[in-house]
Amino acid sequence: MNLVNRLMVSVLQLFPKGLVKPFAMRYVAGESLDDAVRVVRSFNLKNMMATVDVLGENVTTKEEAFAAVKAGDEVLHEIDENRLDANLSIKPTQFGIRIDEAFCHSNVKWLLEIARGYHSFVRIDMEDSSTTSATLKLYERLRSDGFENVGIVIQAYMRRSEEDVKRLVDKKVNVRLCKGIYIEPDEVAFRDREEVRRNYLRLLKMLFDARCYVAIATHDDFLVEAAYRYIQKMNLQKFAYEFQMLYGVRMKLRDRIVADGHRMRIYVPFGQQWYAYSMRRFKENPQIAPHVLRALFSSS
């Protein structure tokens, strides 16, 4: 199956950019900030919140990292200006974590100060395992700096996540809990689907027990149902958690969760780098490729 998926990724790369674009735009709001504002507004009208992501990662120059701060500033400004119910998600490698950790820290700190001025919140996405320690260190340092308007992501497939959560719960962290999207070696991450689910639920329980705010980020019915049961059993109020889903994925499930009275936030990526972003995602996780090809060949 994996080989088939990898083949599909190779096939996808042969398609002209123009042909892939309509597919990619099911998962990306568009190329401009105006596109993102339009999409976020449409979600707000449907009683859903959003988190906006300016596409880009793995910058190699300080200028690119400064540009990411500027882009984040513009998003926060537009959210405020348009009175949108949305916040910002950022990738550490876009803010220079691979260049220099202290440099990245000062960039994210700068952005958090801007966000604080807008009473807004910034979520630090979690990237591949080569950046996990540095990203958690960055987050913990920002909390020590006194920032409360920042959140982190924990990936349930990571073997280390239980230890990380044990350490973080005392800080009353605001966590997005997801399975994890990068291809990781066995010694770093669980690969078995059921094992990842079990760990997801173990971590969710630990976070709920510690009364941390959790963003339950999944499109997996099994996990959604299990989260419902925890929420009910623990009698959690609706402002103690939220569900999160990616733009363009499993809309029926999304609408059902909202209709059931839970808060839902949609991850809305936008930007010029949609092609590079999509292709990297496919290479990192070839399991997405069948979704792409199906979308390419299904009638729209």
Binding site for ligand FDA (CB under 6 A): 125-126, 153, 155, 176, 178-182, 217-220, 244-246, 249-250, 267, 288, 291
Please identify, using beta-carbon distances, which residue of 26 and 62 lies nearer to ligand FDA. 26
Name the minimum Å distance from CB 156 to ligand FDA. Answer: 8
Distance (Å, whole) CA 37 – CA 25: 15
Name the minimum Å distance from CB 180 to ligand FDA. Answer: 4
Distance (Å, whole) CA 94 – CA 140: 19
Please enumerate in sequence order all residues whose Cβ is within 8 A of that of 100, keeping only pairs 6 or more positions apart, or say none.
Answer: none
Please identify, using beta-carbon distances, which residue of 61 and 161 lies nearer to ligand FDA. 161
Distance (Å, whole) CA 87 – CA 50: 7
Task: Specify whether the CB–CB gap between 56 and 273 falls below 8 A.
Answer: yes
Name the minimum Å distance from CB 261 to ligand FDA. Answer: 19
The single residue listed with the structure tokens 């920002």 is 142
The single residue listed with the structure tokens 């009275």 is 261
Name the minimum Å distance from CB 270 to ligand FDA. Answer: 15
Distance (Å, whole) CA 160 – CA 54: 28
Please identify, using beta-carbon distances, which residue of 62 and 151 lies nearer to ligand FDA. 151
Please enumerate in sequence order all residues whose Cβ is within 8 A of that of 172, keeping only pairs 6 or more positions apart, or say none.
Answer: 210, 211, 212, 213
Please identify, using beta-carbon distances, which residue of 88 and 178 lies nearer to ligand FDA. 178
- Active-site residues, by number, are 125, 176
